Each structure stands twice: as C-alpha cells, then as structure tokens.
Amino acid sequence: MLNRWFFLVFCGLIAWIPLIALAQPDTPNKDKIALVMKALSNPFFFKMESGAKDYARENHLTLEVFGTELETDLAHQASILNNLISRGYGAIVIAPADSRTLDPILKKAVDQGIVVINIDNPLDKTAQAEQGLDIPFVGSDNAKGAALVGDYFRRQLQGRGRLIVIEGIPGAQNGDLRKSGFIQAVTAGGGIEIVDSVSANWQTEDAFAVMSNLLEKHGSVDAVFCANDQMALGVLHALDLRNLTGKVRVGGYDNIEAIRNELRNGRVDATVEQHPELMGRYGVALAAQAMQGKKIPTYQETPLALITHESFGKRIALTLSDLKNPFFAAMLKGAQTQAEVHGVDLSYADAGNDDSQQLLTLQNFVDKKADLIIINPTNSQAVRPGIDLANRARIPVITVDRKAYGGQVVSHIASDNVAGGRLVGEYLVRKLDNGGAIAEFEGIPGASASYERGKGFNDDLADHKNLRVATREIANFNRDDARAAMTQLLTQNQRFAAIFAHNDTMILGIMDAFHAHPDQQRPLLVGFDAIPEALQALHEGKIAATVAQRPDRMGALAVETAIRVLRGESPPPTIAVELDLIEASR
C-alpha cells in the first residue's frame, strides 16, 4: 500500500512538471541588457559605463556591465559574449576589442534572437557581410576626429615638419581610421613628412618603449599623434627623459583626465573628445527600442570636439534672458558641460527678461575683461548697446537662440525658427482636413524667435484658405500671461480648432486654462521647445505636438564656437541646430 502511495505521488509530480515549465519565462535574462566593454581600467570606459547606467536608470531598464582588464584581451571578451548568449540576455551592447574576430560569435547571438548593438569601435563591414550581419553602430567618425588633430597640427606647424604616428592595435578599425584620418589631414598640401608609424597596442607602457626606440632611430621630430590618450602619456614620458617636452607637439584621442592635466600645463597640445557617455547612452537606448520591436537606425553618430591647450583657463561670459524658463536653463547646462570639457572658466548671469539688467550685465562682463561674451538676448534690438560696448573693448561676441539687430557678432547659433514655424503649419494642415479657426500666442515683441516662428507658421498657412488665424495674443513667452489670455478667450466663448504658442511655457499656460474649464472642448495644442514638462504633457495626451530644438545643444555649440574663435579660427556666421516635430502617440 505504501509503495502504491509513493507511486501515485511520483506520477502527480511528473504531471506537474510541464505546467511548472510553462509558468516560467523562457529565460530570467531575456529583459536584461548587457554592456560589454574592454579595458575597464581606462577612464574612457568609465564614462561610457556612466552614460549607459544613467539611461538605464532613467528608463527603468535592467543593465549589467562586463569588460576585460586589457584592450588586447580578445579571448576574454569572446568568453564573456558566449556566456551571455548561453544565458539568453535580451540585448548585448558591444565595444569590440577587434573589428573582425568576434563576428561569428555575434552572428550566433543574432540567430538566437538577441539584439546586438555595436558601439565605439566599428565592426568590419566585409566581415559582417560574410556572416550575413548588419549590426547597428553607435559612435563617432574616428577618421573625422583624428582629422581635427591633423588640421590643428598643420596650422600650428605652418605646413612644414616631421611627424610620428603611434597606432592602436593592428586590425582595430577605430585605430586604423584614426591613423588614416590624421595622416590625410596633416599632409594635405604637402610639406609635412610622416617619418614613422608604429603600433603601441593602446598601452602606455608600450608607447613609452616604442617612442624611446623611434627617438633613437629618427632623432627629434616636430610632433607625435597617438591614437589614444593612454599612449600619449607614454610618449610624454619618453620625451621627458630626453628633455624634449614642450619642443615636440603631442596629440592624443579621448580627453581622459590625465591628459587634461597635461593640456592645462601646456605639455600636451591637443586631444579629441568623443563623448563615450553618449555612446553608452545611445547604445542602451537603441537596444531597448529594438527589444520593443521598434525600428532603429543602422548608424547613430556621436559628436566630436577638438580639445587644445589654448582653451584651458580662458574666461567666457554668458548672459541668458530668463533662467526661470526651463528652455534657457537647459541651454545653460549644455554650455556648462561643454565649458568643462574644454577647461574653460564660464561665468553666467540671468537677465530675468529685463533689457536694462542685461545691459548692466554686459557692462560688467566688459569691465572684467572676459575673453569672449555669449549673449542670449532678452530683446533683439535693445541688446545692441551692450554689443557695442564689447565691440569697442575688442571682445568677440556670439549670440545664441535670438539674434541681435545691430553690432558686430562673430557667429549666431540657433534653430531655424522659420522652418520650425512651418513644421507646425504643415502639421495643422495635415490634422485639420475640414479647416477651422486658429489662435496664435506670440512671444516677446521684438524677439527674433517670436517673429521668425510666427513668420514660418503664417507663411505656410497662407496657402490654405480654409485655415485662418482668428486671434493673436501676446503672452511674452510667459506661462501666467498665456493662462490669463486664454482664460479671457474662454470666458468670451471663443472656439478654436487649434492653438499654436511660440514656446512650450505658453502652451502649458493655455493647458492650465483649459484644465480650469473642463466643460470646454480642448482643441489641438501645439508648442515649441520640447521642454520636459511639455513632453510629459505630450505623453499624457494633454497637448498634441511640440517642436524640439535642443537648447542644451545650442549652449554646447555656443561654447564650442567660442573656443574656435579663441583659437584664431573663423566659424560660420550662422550655425543651425537641428529640430523636429514631436507628436503625441495617442
């Protein structure tokens, strides 16, 4: 009897096994993203990891980080990949140690339904084709980055000199591209000779040994370009031992902290910032999108910046129209980040939308002898006396977002506001098949951004007679002013098919007015700027669309352009920042 009871229990357990298996997920790791890097001891990859983790935390993603001790440890990286594949991770973001060798392993991952994103060092296209792969890539254009150093050395050497190139690992495509990009740029026009080009395997110690041998072989040279900063440190040590520091120009690539110290002291001339934090961030973002079944681009480029010793310690002053506005707060943050990258001393002041306060600030900047002034005007006309002050003191001036009407301005950085206004017009034409009345909320009278956005919008609507602007309200880019004006329109029982406000702060004020009058039918609400609160309202379906114009990028470009001016370069008179229309998904 007892044996029979055990048999029945055993059979019952066997019967439950398939049900237990069905209740379990395919793999406990299918929702995880793995970031696989190389040389975790390299500060470059600290930044990459930081950017990836920030994005994962902000978007509630599960991210795990792996890597090798040395950049040359290809076998260890291959072992990590095989382990991740066997454990069924949902996505792998890989900064490969080699551009060809890992393709068969990555092919195995793709065949098992694992999303693979390549960052930093691009995989070889021919090797991918042999495996039937087309893996998306996130990273900078390495040839373009190295060409920045090449162009800089050519200018500094006035087109004549003898140079050495210290290469990365042979076969690593990022190293090969840096070598070719630098040589092509520095030798353009003739007069410069590359006396030798030797690999140092990305390592400081190897670079010291290689450079010591090359100096014995060739004697002193005029400049050395290293395919990464770690090798530049080794080269610098070799020059120190021969009392050649400061006599031989040294260029690197990556902008690590140790090289920044040498730039600050004038012992290294140049390096390249390629924003590894953005590589990590964008790589994880694309992986998450692909895991959700969304279409992703095959290439997402990350920005580059030439960092030179001249910018360290320079004083740039920035005046902003109104820091209470999130748009200008984001602009300041972008400027501060870029200033830190270049070693610049950035001071700033908030004009609080007060023309006279901005003029007093500009007088103060001139009195303190700033090396360059960046102005985000409160008013395009009222700012002219302040620009004239700077002009008389021979301090270069750059404007950002809003133009200045008068005075000498080296360069203006802004979105194409006219094009942005057209985007809104095209959107409403598409959405309002039956036409209708539109309310337009304008910004500060005299501000170029307000004029240009309104011009693009109205020019586009001019060809569509069934759409008409029934009223224009001046709300000064201010939320409270917009709410008050909209409340007045609602109490007058005015009805609109759509409302376009020249910035998001005003469209949020209009949204507030409708929230206080829930009995009123809400029209299409369209703003301009894509500030965080507006994007949240867009996500919740409270507004219909906004135009994204990247204020953080404007601030960063303003500082980057200032650095170019301080190096003696001549930037374009106008630099456009990309923009796009973002629509609600529901």
- Answer for the pair 365, 380: CB distance below 8 angstroms, yes or no: no
Contacts of 76 (CB under 8 A, 6+ apart): 68, 69
Q: How far apart are CA 122 and CA 98, in angstroms?
A: 9
Q: Which domains, and CATH codes, for the chain? A: 32-140+277-301 (3.40.50.2300), 142-273 (3.40.50.2300), 417-548 (3.40.50.2300)
SS3 414: strand
Q: 94: which 2 tokens?
A: 């890989």
With DSSP H G I counted as helix, E B as strand and the rest as coil, what are the percentages for the chain, rounded to 5?
A: 45, 20, 35
Q: 450: which 2 tokens?
A: 């307000």
CA angle centred on 297, ends 292 and 301, rounded to 5° = 125
Distance of CA 557 to the CA centre of its chain: 11
> What are the CA-CA distances from residue 278 to residues 23, 45, 303, 304, 487 (Å)?
39, 11, 9, 11, 43
Q: 288: which 2 tokens?
A: 């998450």
Continuous segment of H or E residues that includes residue 6: helix 2-23
pTM across the whole model = 0.71
User: Which pLDDT score is estimated for 585?
Assistant: 62
User: Which pLDDT score is estimated for 43?
Assistant: 81
User: Which pLDDT score is estimated for 26?
Assistant: 54
| Residue 531: CA count within 13 A, CB half-sphere | 19
For 535, counting Cβ atoms within 10 Å of its Cβ (0-12 exposed, 13-18 middle, 19+ buried), the class is: middle
Could you say which residues of the chain have pLDDT below 50?
Answer: 1-25
- Answer for the pair 304, 141: CB distance below 8 angstroms, yes or no: yes
- Answer for the pair 88, 27: CB distance below 8 angstroms, yes or no: yes
Q: 420: which 2 tokens?
A: 């942005």
Give one DSSP letter per residue of 322-356, joined into a string: -TTSHHHHHHHHHHHHHHHHHT-EEEEEE-TT-HH
Residue written as tokens 């006309």?
381
Q: How far apart are CA 302 and CA 538, in angstroms?
A: 27
Give one DSSP letter per residue of 443-485, joined into a string: -STT-HHHHHHHHHHHHHHTT-TTEEEEEEEE-TT-HHHHHHH
- Answer for the pair 92, 119: CB distance below 8 angstroms, yes or no: no
User: Which pLDDT score is estimated for 70?
Assistant: 80
- Integer-rounded Cα Rg, in Å, for the chain is 29
pLDDT tens-place string over residues 155-172: 999 999 999 999 998 888
